[in-house]
Structure 1
């Protein structure tokens, strides 16, 4: 595969995550980008390519730690979990301080109550009370940040290696119940390769033909 010719500095926050690892593998294979990999306990990554990858060990709720990772970045891709509201605040503060504008932020379906019907009710049952609401508030922080963001809202995640997805925009009913991590990674890679696309968008991602009351694996 011919590599992209425009080299970028890409910071990956939450670099040990399953989707993030797919993105990293593809960027190393398909581009000449330099990757800064940020995570807690960097030893989990194992060996890296020192010519292409810089590892930063830190706490994603710490603006100071994040500042070390985002400084000089062209694009920040955030695949975070845990204290997601505090992480959103810290990412925005670190990027503003560093003068970095482009952010790709992984969220979840349902943050706008956009999932219709029985699946929407099931999704609320599964995610309310400590997950959905913090992710919604974190997304609101990103949307109000003034950054050049794209928010990605995946359906329920599964591990099929195939890339097969459709998208919806904020304000449209969510489609489907599930999607592969490889598909979400593909969306991220396309945005990194074409960073002017999708700015200010919040994009739902699902596998076509998976409509139903809940994902097939439940």
Structure 2
């Protein structure tokens, strides 16, 4: 039996991951979000829905206690503050495994024309806090995996490849379903990509920008 806590559970990637988790035996989910009514219909014997804000460190610590894996699907201008609260809460609760969704470009790892375009699109107050949040996670004692998706699509497909921190990022886009598939696989295998940061993209999508621009 595996107990998984999903932070920011109403997010699009999180909803795909939750759907996949619900199809597995022996998984108990705790869904944590600011407006619990959005997912209350999922509550049941193997799913608990809890309303809360991850910056409420004490409450998050209480919820995290006893969990095997925490998957954080968070966003916002205060993402660094959220990261600090998550790390503090998980370390205090004795939970080691964290899967953290970030974004491409936080290490200036996107090469070529696409890298320049990505900076133009994301440098205005977006990449900086996500980079700072990643540093908070990497400085923790947690068995983290940071996931850095390419530009996201809603395509009904699971098709992806990975790059590691220190390697040039590949591709320009990836489906949310693909990211969710990776999250579920990471949750299933506590030894996979531990204390690592992985980029995820759809193979064959190299270019100057995503296909819809």
TM range (shorter): over 0.9
- 1:54 counterpart = 2:51: no
Measure how far apart 1:65 and its partner are.
2.5
Q: Distance in 2 between matches of 1:57 and 1:46?
A: 10
| Cα distance in 1, alignment partners of residues 83 and 94 from structure 2 | 16
- TM-score normalized with structure 1 length: 0.95
Equivalences, count: 212
Between the aligned partners of 2:177 and 2:210, the Cα distance in structure 1 is 17
Question: For structure 1, which runs of at least 5 residues remain unmatched after alignment?
Answer: 1-6
Residues 62 and 93 in structure 2, CA contact (< 8 A), matched pair in contact too: no
- Counterparts of 1:1-218 in structure 2, within 5 Å, are 7-82=1-76, 83-218=78-213
Q: Distance in 2 between matches of 1:191 and 1:124?
A: 29
**Does the 8 A contact of 2:165 with 2:197 survive in 1?**
yes
Task: State how far apart, in whole Å, the 2-side matches of 1:90 and 1:30 are.
Answer: 30
Structure 2 segments unaligned to the other structure (5+ residues)? none
Contact 1:78 1:104 in 2 (8 A): yes
Q: Quote the Cα distance in structure 2 between the aligned partners of 1:109 and 1:150.
A: 14
Normalising by structure 2, we get a TM-score of 0.97
2:41 aligned counterpart, secondary structure: coil
Runs of 4+ in 1 over 4 A off after TM superposition: none
RMSD of the alignment, in Å?
Answer: 0.8
Q: Is the 8 A contact 2:72 2:101 kept in 1?
A: yes
| Distance across 2 between alignment mates of 1:46 and 1:55 | 6
Per-residue deviation, 1:46:
3.5
